[in-house]
């Protein structure tokens, strides 16, 4: 196990900058999840840590060691890819032991490590099969096993569950989390999945365009996003946004309705802001922002209602089961303490 620290990491492909001055300290044993839109540089960052890409500036430390010029095989990390990348002509046992055999590890150690990992992952009955004789979920487990047997300092995962169906994803997610709790190996995990990010991470790193936007515990990011980008990226359904202008202790929305602001909002009269309200924090009231129901979606545990209000398409999540039909006119409000205020020019949080 080891800490990982990135100092001003910079990466270009030809003239195009893909990672701009990335600074990040990952503690020994931590499970860090990287999220961000497609193309923002998540895989490039993982591959740089693994040594599969050469960085153009900055430093990467794994434990005490600066690894900028250390070959991938000597960095003592194990990477699990979305594609699994199993050797098709080798059975499960040989796939799992391959990297150890490549290092000429003693046969007894290989047998012991493969056996321990296959027991942990429930692969004992599949050891003689070829990858093509396995289901997607089983292949994923073999890829995990291949990483585990190396007993690395750090695990790197690049969307390892994205080829699985929703149910299997949820099972594997729980298993990977349990595995981390027992192995306690430092892990860096890339995903597109909101639920994976929220549930697995000790800390989430939100990236966009090669820049880190915010780093924090899942609920910290959810409750206090540092800017509009993070506010819109974390949470599903996404946060509602309203353009507004500060009018005394209230925010004046595009349709003229007024919303009371949280006391903590550091704003000035006439300032242009963006108001953010999560779907579960919007409520129906007698007065408030007038809206028209567009779509009602019963989800069982909750009801998702889409409305047009204050010149925006708005989502409201109700835990009760409101009786509504498209075209119904309703009023919306939120408690001041549930309102996020961002400066419109800088995009930064001001409360
Ligand atoms: N070998 C390469 N040569 C040139 N450009 C590359 C190369 N690899 C990646 N890029 C570019 O670098 C940027 C970041 O790519 P990267 O694969 O890191 O994104 P990502 O965040 O992992 O995206 P996704 O979520 O789609 O996997 C993209 O614009 C991509 O086109
Ligand atoms: Mg990627």
Can you give the pLDDT at residue 192? Answer: 86
Residue with tokens 């690049």: 158
Smallest CA separation from ligand 1 atom 27, residue: 38
Q: Are residues 28 and 171 in the same domain?
A: yes
- The answer on 263 and 227 residing in a single domain is no
CATH number for the domain spanning 297: value is 2.40.50.140
Q: Report how far residue 163's alpha carbon sits from residue 147's, in angstroms, rounded to the nearest whole number.
A: 18
- Of 232, 248, 282, the one marking the end of a domain is 232
42 lines ligand 1 (CB under 6 A): yes
Query: Residue 47: CB within 6 Å of ligand 1?
Result: no
In this structure, the residue with its CA closest to atom 26 of ligand 1 is: 38
Whether residue 18 has its Cβ less than 6 Å from ligand 1: yes
- The last residue of one of the domains, among 211, 232, 253, is 232
pLDDT digits (tens, 9 = 90+) for 265-310: 999 999 999 999 999 999 999 989 999 999 999 999 999 999 999 9
Residues 167 and 185 in one domain: yes
The residue out of 177, 207, 232 marking a domain boundary is: 232
> Are the CB atoms for 253 and 243 separated by under 8 Å?
yes
- Around Cβ 280, how many Cβ atoms within 10 Å? 16
Neighbours of 25 (CB within 10 A): 13
In which band, very low, low, confident or very high, does the pLDDT at 82 lie, cut at 50, 70 and 90?
confident
Q: Residue 241's pLDDT is what?
A: 98
Token duo for residue 331: 């009023």
Expressed in angstroms and rounded, the spacing between residue 160 Cα and the centre of ligand 2 is 11
Instruction: Tell me the per-residue pLDDT of 26-71, one tens digit each, with 9 for 90 and over.
Output: 999 999 999 999 999 999 999 999 999 999 999 999 999 999 999 9
How close is the Cα of 81 to the center of ligand 2, in Å? 10
User: pLDDT tens digits for 165-197?
Assistant: 888 888 889 989 988 998 899 999 999 888 899
Q: Which residues surround ligand 2, an ion (CB under 5 A)?
A: 43
Q: How far apart are CA 153 and CA 6, in angstroms?
A: 16
Atom of ligand 1 nearest to the CA of 53: 1
348 assigned to some structural domain = no
Same domain, 154 and 245: no
Same domain, yes or no, for 35 and 125? yes
Q: Which of 227-232's residues contact partners 24+ apart within 8 Å by CB, and which partners?
A: 227/342, 227/346, 227/347, 227/348, 227/349, 228/274, 228/276, 228/342, 228/347, 229/347, 230/206, 231/276, 231/340, 231/342, 231/349
The alpha carbon of 34 and the centre of ligand 2 are apart by a number of angstroms equal to: 10
- 288 CB near ligand 1 (under 6 Å): no
Q: Is the CB of 44 under 6 A from ligand 1?
A: yes
Token code pair at residue 192: 């597109």
Range of the domain at 339: 237-343
Q: Is 43 close to ligand 1, i.e. is its CB under 6 Å away?
A: yes
What is this structure's pTM?
A: 0.92
CA distances from 244 to 31, 152, 171, 241, 311 (A): 38, 51, 43, 9, 11
CA distance 183 to 179: 6
Residue 194 is predicted with a pLDDT of 87
By alpha-carbon position, which residue is closest to atom 6 of ligand 1?
A: 13
Measured from the alpha carbon of residue 39, the closest ligand is 1
Q: Is the CB of 41 under 6 A from ligand 1?
A: yes
Question: 230 C-alpha to center of ligand 1: Å?
Answer: 20
Question: What residues does 284 pair with on adjacent strands?
Answer: 332
In a domain? residue 130 = yes
Q: What CATH code is carried by the domain that includes residue 148?
A: 3.40.50.300
Cα–Cα distance between 60 and 154 in angstroms, integer? Answer: 13
Q: Distance from the CA of 246 to the center of ligand 2, in angstroms?
A: 40
- Best residue among 10, 41, 54 to mutate for probing ligand 1, ranked by most atoms within 8 Å of CB: 41
Same domain, 66 and 183: yes
Residues 268, 196 share a domain: no
% of the chain residues with pLDDT over 90: 84
Report the run of H or E that residue 195 belongs to, with start and end: helix 194-200
Question: Does 127 share its domain with 208?
Answer: yes
Is 257 touching ligand 1 by the criterion CB < 6 Å?
no
Q: What pLDDT, in 10s, does the model give residues 20-35?
A: 999 999 999 999 999 9
Residue 342 region, left (φ>0) first, then alpha (ψ -120 to 50), else beta?
beta
* 308-349: pLDDT as tens digits: 999 999 999 999 899 999 999 999 999 999 999 999 999 999
Q: What are the φ/ψ torsions at residue 229 (nearest 5 degrees)?
A: -60, -50
Q: Calculate how far, in angstroms, residue 321's C-alpha sits from the geometric centre of ligand 1.
A: 44
Q: What are phi and psi of 122, to 5 degrees?
A: 65, 40
Ligand 1: residue whose CA is nearest its atom 16: 41
Cα 39 to middle of ligand 1, angstroms: 5
Q: How far is the CA of 86 from the centre of ligand 2 (A)?
A: 19
- Our count of domains for the chain comes to 2
Q: Does residue 340 come out as left (phi exceeding 0), alpha (psi in the -120 to 50 range) or beta?
A: beta
In a domain, 179, yes or no: yes
207 CB less than 6 Å from ligand 1? no
Q: Whose CA is nearest to atom 1 of ligand 1?
A: 13
Q: Is the pLDDT confidence value at 1 over 90? A: no
pLDDT value of position 166: 84
């Amino acid at each position: 196990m080891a800490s990982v620290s990135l100092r001003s990491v910079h990466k270009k492909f030809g003239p195009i900058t893909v990672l701009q001055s990335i600074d990040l300290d990952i503690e020994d044993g931590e499970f860090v999840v990287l999220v961000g839109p497609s193309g923002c540089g998540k895989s490039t960052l993982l591959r740089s840590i693994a040594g599969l890409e050469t960085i153009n500036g900055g430093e990467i430390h794994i434990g005490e060691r600066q690894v900028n010029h250390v070959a991938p095989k000597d960095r003592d990390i194990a990477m699990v890819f979305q594609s699994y990348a199993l050797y098709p002509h080798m059975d499960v046992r040989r796939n799992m032991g391959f990297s150890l055999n490549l290092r000429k590890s003693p046969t007894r150690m290989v047998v012991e490590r493969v056996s321990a990992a296959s027991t942990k992952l429930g692969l004992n009955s599949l050891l003689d099969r070829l990858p093509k004789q396995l289901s997607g979920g089983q292949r994923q487990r073999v890829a995990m096993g291949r990483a585990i047997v190396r007993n690395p300092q750090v695990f790197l995962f690049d969307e390892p569950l994205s080829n699985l169906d929703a149910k299997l994803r949820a099972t594997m997610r729980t298993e990977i989390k349990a595995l981390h709790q027992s192995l306690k190996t430092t892990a860096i995990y890339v995903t597109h999945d909101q639920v994976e990010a929220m549930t697995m991470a000790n800390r989430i790193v939100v990236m966009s365009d090669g820049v880190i936007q915010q780093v924090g515990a899942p609920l910290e990011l959810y409750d206090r996003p540092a800017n509009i980008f993070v506010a819109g990226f974390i949470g599903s359904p996404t946060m509602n946004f309203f353009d507004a202008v500060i009018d005394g202790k209230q925010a004046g929305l595009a349709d003229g309705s007024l919303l009371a602001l949280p006391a903590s909002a550091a704003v000035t009269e006439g300032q242009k802001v963006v108001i953010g309200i999560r779907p579960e924090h919007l409520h129906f009231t007698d007065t408030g922002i007038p809206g028209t129901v567009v779509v009602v979606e019963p989800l069982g545990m909750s009801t998702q209602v889409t409305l047009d209000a204050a010149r925006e398409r708005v989502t409201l999540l109700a835990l009760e089961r409101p009786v509504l039909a498209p075209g119904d006119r309703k009023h919306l409000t939120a408690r001041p303490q549930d309102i996020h205020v961002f400066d419109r020019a800088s995009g930064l949080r001001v409360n």
